[in-house]
Chain A
Amino acid sequence: MAEDVMVVNGLTKVFTAREKGSGLRRLFGRKKEIVAVDHVSFKVRRGEILGYLGENGSGKTTTIKMLTGIMTPTSGSARVLGFVPWERKREYLKRIGVVFGMQSLLFWDIPAMEAFKFYRDVYEVSQDDFSERLEYFDSILGVKKLAEKPVRKMSLGERMKCNLVAALLHYPEIVFLDEPTIGLDAVSKEAVRDFIRDFNKKHKLTVMLTTHDVLDVEALCTKVLLLDKGKKIFHGSISRLKKNYLGYKILYVEYDRVKDKARLESVVRMGRLVGRGKNWVELELKTDGRLPKAVAALLKAVNVIDLDVKEPGLDRLLVKVYGEKK
């Protein structure tokens, strides 16, 4: 079994801010405390891709900032690769990588290759390793040619590809990705996901990923951790999340003839109607034994030309989770 590379216990970050007001009230208003991360504990194993999810302001980025040594927590402890992150030991920072979707590691006016060379020296990567790694990045992301044009002339997707290369040139053991696909088109998102997946597989890279794109999570994550107002509300596999929070599946049936209208209506009443057309029906059915009964009844009620039973998407699940919390 892979070892735990990240052990976080009761991590908490409290910010102080002045109470809102105008003029002098804003300057001298009473201080109030904002708990951004509230006693969060979890472990991550080597090679795991953890989706760190939550609504805006739920404490995702703050956690990442503490685990990358940028910020000091108010209380709690964490060991990442055996180091306390906020002690900012050089040996630790050399073994991690960080990508903030909204911040660039590149130099705006000149080709990205200059940034790659700079980070080669920052992380003391040998020239041989540098060349070999560039070949690898090029084989998946096609960055070699891209890196020759000035960053300002690149599309957002191209910039993100180059940013990823700059952040991973030193082959970190853990990478923290804060919304790496934000603002990208579908093709660029897929390229970024393919790359993360490949790097994870080939180099046993551990990834902590925050994103608002559920497709990122479904495509990449082995586990997810859900935050709500700084508090952990779930940590585990996606299938367990679905089991815990959903307990239903979606049944879709398309038919060309109704054999028994009353039976069809009784099937519809077994679940929650999602949609209905002239010759199709979509239902949410609880996974408590109702589903096989409904399928059997449908086969008798209509002349089926297509039938599909699927799990609801993660997007629906998250809406349900956070909806319930509110």
Chain B
Amino acid sequence: MRAGYYLRLLWDMARVRLAEMREYSADFAVLLITVPSYLLVNLFFWQVIFSHARVIAGWTLGEVILLQAFMNLGFLFWNLLYIFPEELDEIIVSGELNTVLSKPVNPVIYLLVTNIDVLGALKNLSGVVAYFLVAGWLGADISLPGLLAGVLMVFLGVTIASTIVFLIQSLSFWFGRTNALNLFYNAYFTVSEYPVTIFPASVKFVLVMFLPVVFFTTGPALSSLKEFPPEGVLGLIALSLLVWTVWLLSAWLLWKAGLKRYEAYGS
């Protein structure tokens, strides 16, 4: 893979998205009001929950807010590096993929870099900053090496989730639209808001292997807390790499097979 080449395209697309934002500056200005409001409402929601109990399933308010910070960081990575679920489905079905396939690029990497979402990234960046500050202020006991491990883990978690999305959306080569499977992503994002440790063992297993939410929010949040042992952090990272390898191999095989039978819809 030619990393420099694709980074350049990523930068170009970021410039394009910024230019698009400048075209609709009023819309951007409204965001300056709606994003802080959304963050405040979310904080208020958790504050209300924790007004009934100081600790829930071993998690304090500060730690849950830390988990929210990692979730926003995950979405930030997603905005910058990966393609969102519904988009690939549309690209395949509408024939937009034709344009991609006729370019001298790796179609998967090209799709990833050209679908950068700068506006979404700015929204999530504000969430990351706000939630980390609030988590620290609420007394979440964060260690710096743990925090760095958490950032790495959330990156791996998003990579796994994105790979699964790619795999599922590749089914569009056979079945056309795969909108019905969007429920899967909704479940994924809903569950990722809560600590995995609160679920029973059988659900935990699913959330590690098949719907690997644990690497997205809970794992990173746990890793950055001082009480969590370093071997636990390393174990989680190793497990995430293993889970990713399995999903990546499956997604790659399915994508290759899909491309071969691609019917290039549209003119």
Provide the bound-state CA to CA distance between A124 and B23, in Å: 28
A102 & B263 in contact (Cβ 8 Å cutoff): no
Residue of B nearest to A13 (CB): B263
Is chain A's interface secondary structure helix, strand, loop, or mixed overall?
mixed
Any chain B CB within 8 A of the CB of A101? yes
Whether A110 contacts B23 by the Cβ 8 Å rule is: yes
1/0 contact trace for B221-260 toward A, CB 8 Å?
0000000000000000000000000000000000000011
A142 sits at the interface (CB 8 A): no
**In the complex, A124→B8 CA distance in Å?**
10
Chain A residues in 8 Å Cβ range of B262: 70-72
B267 lies within 8 A of chain A by Cβ: yes
* In-complex Cβ contact of A109 among B24, B102, B104, B266 (8 A): B24
Q: How far is the CA of A90 from the CA of B102 in the complex (A)?
A: 10
- Which of A93, A102, A118 touches B13 (beta carbons < 8 Å)? A118
What residues of chain B lie closer than 8 Å to A186, measured between beta carbons?
none
Q: Which of A17-50 contact B (CB under 8 A)?
A: none
Count chain B residues whose beta carbon lies closer than 8 angstroms to a beta carbon of A.
29
The answer on a CB contact under 8 Å between A72 and B98 is: no
Q: Interface code A56-97, partner B: CB below 8 Å = 1, 0 otherwise? A: 000001100100111110000000000000001011111010
* Min CB–CB distance A107 → chain B (angstroms): 6
B20 x A109 contact (CB < 8 A): yes
Asked whether any CB of chain A lies closer than 8 Å to the CB of B130, the reply is no
Beyond A65-B98, A71-B262, A110-B23, whether A178 also contacts B267 by CB under 8 A is yes
The 10 closest A-B pairs by CB, nearest first: A93-B104, A94-B104, A98-B102, A90-B104, A110-B19, A70-B101, A109-B20, A65-B264, A102-B267, A68-B102
Can you identify 22 A-B contacts, CB atoms within 8 angstroms?
A65-B264, A68-B102, A69-B101, A70-B98, A70-B262, A71-B263, A72-B260, A90-B105, A91-B104, A96-B102, A101-B267, A103-B96, A103-B266, A110-B16, A117-B12, A118-B12, A118-B16, A123-B104, A124-B5, A150-B23, A178-B267, A179-B267
| Chain B interfacial positions (CB closer than 8 Å to A) | 5, 8-9, 12-13, 15-16, 19-20, 23-24, 95-99, 101-105, 259-264, 266-267
- Beyond contacts A69-B101, A70-B264: 13 other A-B pairs, Cβ-Cβ < 8 A, are A70-B262, A72-B259, A72-B260, A90-B104, A98-B99, A100-B266, A102-B267, A103-B96, A114-B15, A115-B16, A118-B16, A121-B12, A124-B5
